[in-house]
Amino acid sequence: MPGVPTHFVIADQVFDALRKAGAPQASLLNTRENLSFAYLGAIGASWGDLMAARPEVDTNEPNTFYFQAWLPILKLLSGAAQAGSPAGNGLYQDLKQIRGTLDKLSGVIKDKKKLALLGMLDELDQLNTIIKDVQTLVTSLSGLRDTIGKAIAAGAPAEKIAPANQWQPRDTLHGSHSGRFLQALQELANAGNDDRLKAYALGATIGYAADLCGNPYISNVVGAPYRNHWWRHRWIGTHIDTWVHGYYAAGGSSQVQFDNNDIPTPLYTNWPNLCKANLQQRIELPGIDQDSILQSLHDGVAVPALLPQAFLDYWKQAYKKAYGSTDPTASTGVDDQGLQSAYAMTWLILWLQTSGEAIPCMPPDQSNGPDNCGARPPWVAADGSVVVGGTVTPPPLPKPATDPSIGEVVSGILAAMLGVVQLMTGYVSGGIADIVAAVALVADGETDPDWEQLRCYEGWVMVFFYNLTNALHDMLKWSGLGFPYTQELAHDQFARQFTGKIEPVDAALNTVRSRRRENNTYPAGFWNPPPPPNASNWPNPPTEPLESPAENIYPVDLAWPFHFVDGFQFASTGAPPQQLNPLFSLPGASSPLVRDMDEWQARQGRIDTPDATNTFFGNAVDVSMELILKTQSSELLDWDLDGDPGIGFPTWLLPESGDPRSSAIPEA
């Protein structure tokens, strides 16, 4: 499904279009607080991922499976107690202290301040304790592969059987009464005088359009709907998010061109990365900060309450209005604390993924060794082993191949990461040991500072520090919890030219570009993962049998994500971009498809007819503008925002498990 970055790109374009059009809705975006609520609304139904995601409750219920996959990572960062590991400082504080001390040391060396260097001796010596703590924390990574694997393997969406209001909120908001919920948000906001609520409803309209147009596209790349291959959807979504953010940040269709070998200019390497986009700032409200939320995770207590009560009451009332008389409860997360926690965790995860603070944004091609310091520092032996205080740490085993037929993303990859991180920690420890020894000699009056040697030591330690944090980046990327670097979207053009293979498996041609529509190939049936911890075959296209009846999926031919974002194709030199996917209306229809009640009702009756639909709504920007400027709230339709099972079906249920689909069953 489209992630937060893609939703924000679409929102930015819609906000700009509203301002240029002089639309009255643009006035809602004039204050920082209103804009934060508009972006929070633009996250759309995906906000339901973290309803009930509470650090103060047991991890089995009512926390979502998505949060269960994140929770061990967040505990590792916060220092919360985990199985076999007592509470501590946490990896975030340790890495922050290492980097802060080394950055300070770099400045002292650059300015050759001897007294300042001597004043850092105790601070440098403390890093030995910090390094040992990092080594202890890193050993817990071996257990993460099993924990994450179990959460992913067990975490498929609920079977589509009524009542929908007892599903996890993410599934309810995507697959049940989607138009009715948006209608409630709009009408309740417009009935009052709180511009924050109106801004949220405006953003929620964009979120609805982004999912409506984006999820069918992602289903095409995945080969199955979210309901059947939920984690492959998320893994593919992280690559599409990276492409969409980078492409539009690089100028979009007016600036980016692709040659006949699908190589962009500027190159992927030069597209802006998500890891320093600071997307958490888009939804920032006064009082929020990572330290307080991490402390809540560390202590296992409720997160700070930051959303205003007026918003909480508004959201709960809209949910109740859309999904029946069932009172919002803690079991679904649709209560005050559930909403507060969902907001805090959404902000925290965006901070972790896109701020560059917890995991520095340092793509491997940008992390260079210090100049004129040799090929390798003195504490690293020729075979890659590290010598720390006379103890030799052997090099890790070679990283396994990334052939997706090997069930390795959670198992082998993380096992390899464990070895790499342990060695990188040894590098850092070895370098710091030599720095401390050199400074100690200066303090004892044995020698004057060898500034050049210290520069090399510090430079090499920083290289290995970034290697260490890039190992964590790889762990999150391959687990489907983080975004790749844009350079990782590139493919091997020589392998493609001479063998016809697209390599590596995570190149954009495999993970971002759509596939040609072929008859009777969609949708693939329910994911059958290998048992944990090897439940990691989501890089593979599905091999499960076809779910009957076969349906069409969007788009018809090869396309890049601009097709569902704004519809504009790449520009050739000097030519203006052209739109390939404008707002769509059926022949003879009086309304665009997105609000065509007659066609919506007709599709209710065709939900079990093979290849029943062959048309899509248009691009998300134009659909958003149509819904904002020309659509009454009463005209909003209950489209299935997951694009399930094909293009543009109404929401639907199963009368009983295994029965044919139906769109005529009461959902709540």
Q: What is the 3-state secondary structure (H, E, C) of 507-528?
A: CHHHHCCCCCCCCCCCCECCCC
Together in a domain, 125 and 79:
no
CA dihedral 236, 240, 242, 248 (to 10 degrees): 180
Range of the domain at 459: 86-139+364-479
26: helix, strand or coil: helix
pLDDT at 107: 95
Together in a domain, 268 and 390:
no
Both tokens assigned to 546: 């076809």
pLDDT at 3: 97
pLDDT at 311: 98
Q: What is the mean pLDDT of the chain?
A: 89
Q: Count the neighbouring beta carbons within 10 Å of the beta carbon of residue 161.
A: 15
Q: What DSSP designation does 108 have?
A: H
Do residues 64 and 51 lie in contact, with contact meaning Cβ atoms separated by under 8 Å? yes
Quote the CA–CA distance of 415 and 145 in Å, as a whole number: 8
Please write the tens of the pLDDT for every residue from 295-330.
Answer: 999 999 999 999 999 999 999 999 999 998 656 555
Pairing, β 391-393 against β 264-265: unpaired
Last residue of some domain: 447, 479, 511? 479
Do residues 571 and 264 lie in contact, with contact meaning Cβ atoms separated by under 8 Å? no
Together in a domain, 475 and 551:
no
What angle separates helix 413-443 from helix 121-139, to the nearest 10 degrees?
160
Together in a domain, 530 and 381:
no
Phi and psi at residue 257, to the nearest 5°: -125, 155
Could you tell me the pTM of the whole model?
A: 0.95
Residue 406 has pLDDT above 50, yes or no: no
pLDDT band at 536 (very low <50, low <70, confident <90, very high): confident
**Arithmetic mean of pLDDT, 403-431:** 66
For the chain, the C-alpha Rg in angstroms (whole number) is 26
Together in a domain, 311 and 386:
no
Does 555 sit behind a cis peptide bond, omega within 30 degrees of 0 on the bond before it?
Answer: yes
Together in a domain, 438 and 524:
no
**Arithmetic mean of pLDDT, 17-31:** 97
CA angle 198, 200, 201 (to 5 degrees): 65
* Closest listed residue to residue 207, CA positions, set 335, 350, 48: 48
Last residue of some domain: 463, 479, 495? 479
Together in a domain, 429 and 535:
no
139: buried, middle or exposed (CB in 10 Å: 19+, 13-18, 0-12)? middle
* Closest listed residue to residue 648, CA positions, set 614, 622, 597: 614
Quote the CA–CA distance of 557 and 220 in Å, as a whole number: 10
pLDDT at 290: 95
Quote the CA–CA distance of 41 and 197 in Å, as a whole number: 9
* Separation of CA 436 from chain center: 39
* Closest listed residue to residue 476, CA positions, set 135, 235, 170: 235
Together in a domain, 529 and 653:
yes
SS (HEC) of 372-403: CCCCCCCCECCCCCEEECCEEECCCCCCCCCC
pLDDT at 610: 93
DSSP secondary structure of 253-304: GGT-EE-TTS-EES-GGGSPPGGGS-GGGGG--TT--HHHHHHHHHHT-PPP
Run of H or E including 104: helix 91-111
Residue 408 has pLDDT above 60, yes or no: no
pLDDT band at 443 (very low <50, low <70, confident <90, very high): confident
Quickly tell me which residue has 């979210």 as its tokens: 226
Contacts of 551 (CB under 8 A, 6+ apart): 522, 523, 610, 611, 612, 613, 645, 646, 647
pLDDT band at 400 (very low <50, low <70, confident <90, very high): very low
Quote the CA–CA distance of 240 and 232 in Å, as a whole number: 12
Q: Which of 181-190, 414-423, 637-646 has the least mean pLDDT?
A: 414-423
Do residues 7 and 206 lie in contact, with contact meaning Cβ atoms separated by under 8 Å? yes
Quote the CA–CA distance of 157 and 139 in Å, as a whole number: 32
Do residues 526 and 158 lie in contact, with contact meaning Cβ atoms separated by under 8 Å? no
Quote the CA–CA distance of 237 and 189 in Å, as a whole number: 31
**Arithmetic mean of pLDDT, 460-485:** 90
Quick one: what percent of the chain has pLDDT higher than 90? 62
pLDDT at 89: 87
Residue 197 has pLDDT above 90, yes or no: yes
Please write the tens of the pLDDT for every residue from 198-222.
Answer: 999 999 999 999 999 999 999 999 9
Residue 343 has pLDDT above 70, yes or no: yes
pLDDT band at 1 (very low <50, low <70, confident <90, very high): confident
Please write the tens of the pLDDT for every residue from 581-611.
Answer: 999 999 999 999 999 999 999 999 999 999 9
What single-letter amino acid sits at 459?
G
Together in a domain, 264 and 382:
no
Together in a domain, 234 and 337:
yes
Last residue of some domain: 424, 444, 479? 479
Together in a domain, 535 and 627:
yes
**Arithmetic mean of pLDDT, 71-95:** 85
Together in a domain, 106 and 222:
no
Please write the tens of the pLDDT for every residue from 129-153.
Answer: 898 888 888 777 767 767 777 788 8
Residue 373 has pLDDT above 50, yes or no: yes
Do residues 510 and 128 lie in contact, with contact meaning Cβ atoms separated by under 8 Å? no
Both tokens assigned to 524: 């693939």
DSSP secondary structure of 125-140: HHHHHHHHHHHHHHHT
**Arithmetic mean of pLDDT, 527-545:** 81
Does 266 sit behind a cis peptide bond, omega within 30 degrees of 0 on the bond before it?
Answer: yes
Q: Count the neighbouring beta carbons within 10 Å of the beta carbon of residue 191.
A: 10
Quote the CA–CA distance of 420 and 413 in Å, as a whole number: 10
**Arithmetic mean of pLDDT, 252-276:** 94
Do residues 529 and 142 lie in contact, with contact meaning Cβ atoms separated by under 8 Å? no
Question: For residues 320 and 65, which has the higher predicted lDDT (pLDDT)?
Answer: 320
457: buried, middle or exposed (CB in 10 Å: 19+, 13-18, 0-12)? buried
The total domain count for the chain is 2
